[in-house]
Amino acid sequence: MAEAKTTQICATGRRKTSVARVRLTQGAGVWSVNRREISDYFASEALRAYIEQPLKLTNMSGKFDVFATLSGGGISGQAGALRHAVSRALTTVDSTLRGVLKSAGCLTRDPRMKERKKAGQPGARKRFQFSKR
């Protein structure tokens, strides 16, 4: 018996302190995020739509199964990292999709990070109350 060789495309995406590792395989559009359903992991419909945006833009919605491992950060950061990783994986599959994804902003790594707390202050920007006397 000769088995059909299934190709796996791997990619990494980042946002804030979150990291997403993604494997795309030919399939029916099944999502697995940290071994859970996407609807269980991301309760918000808006976040799920945000994550699935690269696949919908490129008309690849039902063509790939997505297996993702997320770590670090919060739900919003993980959603951004997952979107970034899926976009990178799709450009590996077909390089002609790069223009569509780039113009939609899916391939740009969001550089915004939390600003560090400074010494002698209660926060990154906040100062202790000034007392004249």
Residue range 48-70, pLDDT digits in tens: 999 999 999 999 988 999 999 99
Q: What is the helix (H) or strand (E) element at residue 68, kind and residue range?
A: strand 64-71
Nearest to 33 by CA among 53, 9, 52, 8: 52
**At 2, is the pLDDT very low, low, confident or very high (cuts 50, 70, 90)?**
low
Q: 81-130, pLDDT tens digit by residue?
A: 999 999 999 999 999 999 999 999 999 999 999 999 999 999 999 999 99
What local confidence, expressed as pLDDT, does residue 87 receive? 96
Structural domains counted in the chain: 1
- Assigned domain for 78 exists: yes
**At 7, is the pLDDT very low, low, confident or very high (cuts 50, 70, 90)?**
confident
* pLDDT at residue 1 tops 70: no
- Assigned domain for 129 exists: no
pLDDT greater at residue 6 or residue 10: 10
Cα–Cα distance measured from residue 16 to residue 35, given in angstroms and rounded to the nearest whole number: 23
- Assigned domain for 111 exists: no
- Assigned domain for 123 exists: no
Pairing of strands 36-37, 8-15: unpaired
Question: Which domain, by its residues, includes 89?
Answer: 8-103
Q: Which residues contact 79 (CB under 8 A, 6 or more apart)?
A: 15, 42, 47, 50, 51
Sheet with 31-33, edge to edge strand ranges: 8-15, 18-26, 64-71, 31-33, 36-37
- Assigned domain for 96 exists: yes
* CATH number of the domain residue 67 falls in: 3.30.230.10
**At 5, is the pLDDT very low, low, confident or very high (cuts 50, 70, 90)?**
low
